[in-house]
Amino acid sequence: MRRTAIALGVVLLVVLSVMPGVAAAATRSGETVVVEEGETIDEDLQAFGGTVVVRGTVEGDLQAFGGSVLVAGTVEGDVEATAGTVRIGGTVGGDVSAAGGSLTVGEDARINGTLEAGAGNIVLSGTVLGDARLGADTITLGENARIAGDFVYDGDVTGLDRATIDGTITQRDDLGVGPGGDFAIPGVFFTIYGMAVAVLFGAVLLLVFPGLSGDVAERATADPLRTGGIGLLTLVTVPVVLVALAITIVGIPLALAGTLAFALLAWVGTIYGRFVLGSWLLSLADVENRWAALLLGVFVVALLRLIPVVDPLVRLAVFLLGFGALVAVLADGYRDRRGRRERRDRSPDVDDSGAEPAD
């Protein structure tokens, strides 16, 4: 335990050393992060939580990541939000960049800068004093919506006839949404944060499960095509099985538990995928170092964000390798344990190694 704590401390210091901007801002995290009404934060705020709510005032920029993000108060700087649902109901003094399942700009909302967003659906009913660049499946403009600048969009739009748009209106089928597009969401901070989480979680895996981690890397690099195929097959078949279980009342608890286990396994697979990538790259230089492999893999995957065409393909391949290798190693381990147990049940005088005990 002491060795684990020291190692994690070292990793944390390394991560923080490459994040100079983080220390200069307030950081809050938890299941629910709230800036209460009447509360003022006189610096930038970086918030991570299931729910992030700003009812008070943030005098700097707001960078928020969570299940849902609500700005009901005032943010004097820029807002960068990545969440399942993003809602702007207050005042933003700067620009707003948002990515998520849905974005709503309420009637009382006022954005003094530009609005750039990518989401499944977007509802704009408030005021944007700058340009609005929106990419979504559906975009709805309310009757009180006002865009003082230009409006550039990609998606199905309703309400153009009732909204007030002072600038030009342009539809673009190639409007970039997300990393590598015309605007990047999430930004550099969230990329670094994601790298930090991957490194820390990967360090825990390497420390607690060194044998498993080594087996995963060896399995993936030895037969990448077969390993990736296992990952793809598991990714496709397991959700089908879980849905089938959920149809029956008896199977609902099993489906819920299986979904959680599958999600955890997939996340671990993404971390191992980076570890596998780093291990393979180091092997090209005849270098073997698990810590360097983890750091290198995480860095390379993050760097791929600069290449939008290659990025999703490589990320998928890396995930399938790590996920497939993890599934294969766990399955082999289960079969080995089951085989030893069956042999032991058939021959009580034979131990787990298969050898008869000495007289």
Q: What is the pLDDT of residues 130-158, one digit of tens each?
A: 999 998 889 999 999 999 999 999 889 99
Separation between Cα atoms, residue 333 and residue 286, nearest integer Å: 29
275-332 per-position pLDDT tens digit: 999 999 999 988 889 999 999 999 998 887 667 667 678 888 999 999 999 999 999 9
Beta carbons within 8 Å of 275's beta carbon, 6+ residues apart: 202, 205, 206, 213, 216, 217, 290, 293, 294, 297, 322
Residue 13 forms part of a structural domain: no
Q: Which residues pair with 45 in a beta bridge?
A: 26, 62
**pTM of full prediction above 0.75:** no
Radius of gyration (C-alpha) of the chain in whole angstroms: 25
User: Under a CB-based contact definition with an 8 Å cutoff, are residues 185 and 99 in contact?
Assistant: yes
Query: What would the two tokens of residue 353 be?
Result: 């190694």
Mean pLDDT of 117-123: 88
Same domain, 229 and 163: no
Residue 183 clears pLDDT 50, i.e. is over it: no
Same domain, 247 and 154: no
Q: Would you call 139 helix, strand, or coil by DSSP? A: strand
Same domain, 29 and 151: yes
Same domain, 299 and 213: yes
Residue 314 forms part of a structural domain: yes
> How many CB atoms are located within 10 Å of the residue 328 CB?
20
Same domain, 216 and 342: yes
User: Binning pLDDT at 50, 70 and 90, where does residue 95 land?
Assistant: very high
Residue 261 forms part of a structural domain: yes
State which H helix or E strand residue 41 sits in.
strand 40-41
Same domain, 217 and 165: no
Greatest alpha-carbon span in the chain: 95
Round the average pLDDT of the chain to a whole number and report it: 82
Same domain, 30 and 167: yes
Neighbouring C-alpha atoms within 13 Å toward the C-beta of 114: 13
Residue 38 forms part of a structural domain: yes
Residue 64 clears pLDDT 70, i.e. is over it: yes
Separation between Cα atoms, residue 16 and residue 10, nearest integer Å: 10
Parent domain of 81: 24-171
Choosing from 154, 171, 188, the residue where a domain stops is 171
Q: Is 268 left (phi over 0), alpha (psi -120 to 50) or beta?
A: alpha
Query: What would the two tokens of residue 92 be?
Result: 């933003």
Choosing from 171, 190, 221, the residue where a domain stops is 171
Angle at which helices 224-247 and 210-222 cross, to 10° = 110
Same domain, 269 and 327: yes
State which H helix or E strand residue 120 sits in.
strand 115-124
Residue 354 forms part of a structural domain: no
User: Under a CB-based contact definition with an 8 Å cutoff, are residues 157 and 141 in contact?
Assistant: yes
Residue 286 forms part of a structural domain: yes
> What is the predicted pLDDT for the residue at 185?
42
> What is the predicted pLDDT for the residue at 343?
77
Q: Would you call 145 helix, strand, or coil by DSSP? A: coil
User: Amino acid letter at 9?
Assistant: G
The count of domains in the chain is: 2
With tokens 């509360």, the residue in question is 39
Mean pLDDT of 21-42: 75
Residue 60 forms part of a structural domain: yes
Residue 186 clears pLDDT 60, i.e. is over it: no
Angle at which helices 252-284 and 224-247 cross, to 10° = 170
Residue 62 clears pLDDT 90, i.e. is over it: yes
> What is the predicted pLDDT for the residue at 40?
94
Separation between Cα atoms, residue 35 and residue 72, nearest integer Å: 10
Residue 3 clears pLDDT 60, i.e. is over it: no
Query: What would the two tokens of residue 316 be?
Result: 């998928």
User: Binning pLDDT at 50, 70 and 90, where does residue 24 land?
Assistant: very low
User: Binning pLDDT at 50, 70 and 90, where does residue 91 land?
Assistant: very high
Same domain, 165 and 288: no
Separation between Cα atoms, residue 203 and residue 207, nearest integer Å: 6
Residue 113 clears pLDDT 80, i.e. is over it: yes
Residue 35 forms part of a structural domain: yes
Beta carbons within 8 Å of 303's beta carbon, 6+ residues apart: none
User: Under a CB-based contact definition with an 8 Å cutoff, are residues 269 and 323 in contact?
Assistant: yes
Same domain, 162 and 232: no
Same domain, 88 and 146: yes
Q: Is 180 exposed, middle or buried (0-12, 13-18, 19+ CB in 10 A)?
A: middle
Same domain, 165 and 300: no
**Apex 177 CA angle, 172 and 313, nearest 5:** 115
Separation between Cα atoms, residue 37 and residue 234, nearest integer Å: 47
Query: What would the two tokens of residue 45 be?
Result: 């705020």
Phi first, then psi: give them for residue 205, nearest 5 degrees: -60, -45
Residue 56 clears pLDDT 50, i.e. is over it: yes
User: Amino acid letter at 247?
Assistant: I
Choosing from 171, 188, 223, the residue where a domain stops is 171
Q: Is the dihedral of CA 188, 65, 99, 273 positive or negative?
A: positive
Query: What would the two tokens of residue 15 be?
Result: 């991560």
